[in-house]
Chain A
Amino acid sequence: MSAAGNGSGSESGSGNGHGARMRLRLRIWRQAGPDEPGAFLDVDAHDIPEDCSFLEMLDIVNERLIDDDIEPVTFAHDCREGICGTCGVMINGRPHGPEKATATCQLHMRKFRDGDEIVIEPFRAASFPVVKDLMVDRRAFDRIIESGGFISAPTGTAPDANEIPVPKDVADFAMDAAACIGCGACVAACPNSAAQLFTAAKLGHLNVLPQGQPERWRRAEAMVETMESFFGSCTNHGECTEACPKEISLDFIAVLNRDYLKAKVKNRRLASQT
């Protein structure tokens, strides 16, 4: 922070967008529709500014494809600041690419080297059908949220939030889970295509807070069983946590397992046991 007084104009090199240019060999998955066969398209991406993000690089590639009368590559994106969870592709065999805790939109081309080959593929799981090219349908996640990822307790307006005492540790734990942006990288990374980390995060952040208690056991049962109808079974590899742009911990999966069994044992219909 001591350098803050120097003014932003004096930052070396990158300030005015004249960073180095790169040449990349891209292998981009192209697929016309969910049931169409797909194949890699080889693209020679030259003159890519190293300061642009991965999605901006794809934008540049698409502009050139349009100039060449080739249909541009379809990919999902929205906020481009790492918080919406819309973007996400497999980059060289890893969801969101090689950088830890970084969504595809926050990945910069300077993390690659000039001349690199980059393989770009959509997230894969049977319940993530490819819509087109790199875009997949993640509505199976919506089904999981619909089944229990909500609370019904009236929580009032913002100032009322302080009326409910929440220990700092618990609030932090819940916030760590709530950081999940629902991008699907966990499912993409998982060899079993399991959605345990996503479901655990969405279930965990409500189940540990007082506001989430009324539906706690119904939520655990409904969300886990909806998840199981779409996705594979967790074998505790830990690939999901490594791929997660928000670094959601495997600990939440243990919480999910614990709450699910408790929910199956409790008889929710008896008010005294909720």
Chain B
Amino acid sequence: MTVAPPEAAERVPPLRRRRRELPWPLNIYQTAVGKKYVMAGTGIGLLAFVIVHMIGNLHLYEGPTQINEYAEALRDLGGHLVPRTLILWVMRIGLLAMFVLHIHSAWSLKEISRRSSPKANWVSGNKRYAGGQDYVAVNFASRTMRWTGPIIGLYVLFHLADLTWGWWLGGDYIRGDVYHNVVESLSSIPVAIIYVVANVALAVHIYHGMWSAFQTLGVNNPRFNHLRRGLATVIAGAILVGNLSFPIMVQAGVVA
């Protein structure tokens, strides 16, 4: 039996009461730290995809035959042991699941922060002081995570509609001819600009996200703590250079 606390002690009531606890391991996701684990884990999965995707796309510089063979090989993953495109679809569904969890955890954590913060910004959830706040440690990347995230999300939809579904290339879209489609799409200046902006946002997102994931997952050791920021910078930089090279090289006429 719990004794009701005196009225004065309840002057600061909890902002959130816990809901009925789900069975393990779903109960972990019911908590904010648990959601952060999911965000960090799915972030690492999505980062792995981004790295592999960027490296794979470098086949573009080997010429049409090689990049098209690479695309075909992705469909044939697993060889004759599994039905064609099965492994590709498993990976696609995994990616989609990671996206959904990453976005859902980010949204709900933002809402928790917004409700905990007076006069909070609706998008970032950040609180506001009447006299302004003088930040010391935040950087551009950490402050814009909740802006770069949606930009990347919208870009992914655009990217799929552009090169996977071929919505606006219309008759110019040739299914399976990756080289042709990429050149056809990226040679348009507005499209190239969208790719550049989105990939800058992606690199900025990864710069904070990767460092943050170490911290969230409790990967913290004085022996290598100084390397965490450097590693995040190198990976974000490599992804930025690799991904930006495609629209720039197509615009420059190197890939045509």
Contacts and interface: CB of A to CB of B under 8 A. Distances in A.
Answer whether A and B are interacting partners. yes
A234 B114 CA distance: 12
Contact of A139 (B11, B28, B219): B11
A126 B137 contact: no
Contacts of A261: 28, 33-34, 37, 218
B220 A255 contact: yes
A254 B218 contact: yes
User: Which one of A119, A232, A260, A264 has the highest number of Cβ atoms from chain B below 10 Å of its Cβ?
Assistant: A232
B216 A126 contact: no
Nearest to B16: A229
Interface in A91-137: 92-94, 119-121, 124-127, 129, 137
B113 A264 contact: no
Nearest to B105: A233
Contact of B134 (A94, A126, A256): A94
A257 B143 contact: no
Interface string B177-198: 0000000000000000000000
Contacts of A255: 218, 220
B27 interface: yes
A230 B134 CA distance: 24
Given A194-B116, A237-B137, A121 B129 contact: yes
Contact of A228 (B12, B31, B219): B31
A140 B142 CA distance: 27
B125 interface: yes
Contacts, number: 176
A218 interface: no
A250 interface: yes
A60 to B, nearest CB: 21
Contact of A254 (B117, B138, B215): B215
A167 to B, nearest CB: 14
A266 to B, nearest CB: 11
Interface residues of B, number: 57
Given A40-B131, A242-B136, A257-B37, A125 B143 contact: no
A29 interface: yes
Contacts of B212: 235-236
Interface in B8-50: 9, 11-12, 14-18, 24-25, 27-28, 31-37
A117 to B, nearest CB: 10
A274 interface: no
Interface in A11-31: 27, 29
A232 B34 CA distance: 14
Contacts of B15: 126-127, 229-231
A214 interface: no
A258 interface: yes
Interface in A195-224: 224
A126 B129 contact: no
Contacts of B126: 191-192
A100 to B, nearest CB: 9
A58 interface: no
Nearest to A195: B116
Contacts of B159: none
A253 interface: yes
B49 to A, nearest CB: 22
Nearest to B108: A233
Contact of B33 (A127, A143, A192, A224): A224
Nearest to A121: B131
Given A239-B137, A239-B138, A264-B27, A137 B215 contact: no
Given A126-B116, A233-B109, A257 B216 contact: yes
B11 to A, nearest CB: 6
10 contacts: A40-B131, A93-B133, A93-B134, A189-B133, A191-B113, A229-B16, A236-B208, A236-B212, A237-B138, A257-B36
Interface of A: 27, 29, 38, 40, 90, 92-94, 119-121, 124-127, 129, 137, 139-140, 143, 189, 191-194, 224-225, 228-239, 241-243, 250-251, 253-261, 264-265
7 pairs of A and B residues whose beta carbons are closest in the complex: A258-B218, A254-B220, A93-B134, A232-B113, A232-B116, A192-B113, A119-B131
